[in-house]
């Protein structure tokens, strides 16, 4: 299974995403967006592009916040995946602990947590939880470049890749 993960796009149209990302979306089994679309049209286009799940971010307009939740739990091939974007915004300092706190007490807690907000791509494993921030798909400041993520799930193994575009 191929899951394309993006966040912090800050655009209103899928045509404003990098070509490489648009190409990967076409072959995705699932698309996950971790907030800050900022354009309702982009949300509609991602939903039309395939199987889609997403959360809203702190910069999203009210219409998107009414359509999506602040946190999502997804079960994919035996893996429990949490998705969030701190709706309160704030500094990236302490972001990981705020993100982690959103899923404490879930039974069972997710093995993977996808999050946005900092625009900094990151993948790391802490206390048996794999954290993935795909960065900003369009390279919006403070990102140093555009990036997105790909989760591959095969034979009970999950792998993550950050793609720099």
* The pTM of the whole model exceeds 0.85: yes
Bridge partners of 97?
none
Predicted pLDDT at 86: 84
CA angle centred on 78, ends 25 and 70, rounded to 5°: 60
Predicted pLDDT at 92: 79
Give the separation between CA 30 and CA 132, rounded to whole angstroms: 16
Predicted pLDDT at 89: 75
Average pLDDT for runs of 10 along the chain of length 165: 97 96 98 95 97 96 95 95 87 88 91 96 94 97 96 94 97
Predicted pLDDT at 161: 97
Predicted pLDDT at 33: 98
């Amino acid at each position: 299974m191929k899951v394309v993960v993006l966040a912090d796009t800050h655009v209103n149209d899928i045509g404003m995403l990098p070509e490489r990302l648009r190409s990967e979306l076409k072959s995705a089994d699932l698309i996950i967006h971790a907030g800050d679309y900022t354009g309702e049209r982009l949300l509609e286009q991602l939903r039309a592009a395939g199987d889609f799940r997403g959360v809203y971010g702190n910069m999203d307009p009210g219409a998107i916040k009414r359509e999506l939740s602040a946190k999502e739990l997804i079960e994919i091939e035996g893996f429990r995946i949490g998705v969030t974007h701190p709706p309160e915004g704030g500094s990236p300092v302490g972001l990981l602990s705020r993100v982690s706190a959103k899923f404490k007490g879930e039974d069972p807690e997710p093995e993977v947590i996808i999050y946005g907000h900092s625009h900094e791509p990151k993948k790391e494993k802490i206390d048996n939880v794999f954290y993935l921030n795909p960065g900003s798909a369009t390279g919006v400041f403070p990102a140093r470049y555009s990036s997105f993520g790909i989760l591959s799930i095969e034979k009970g193994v999950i792998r993550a890749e950050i793609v720099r575009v």
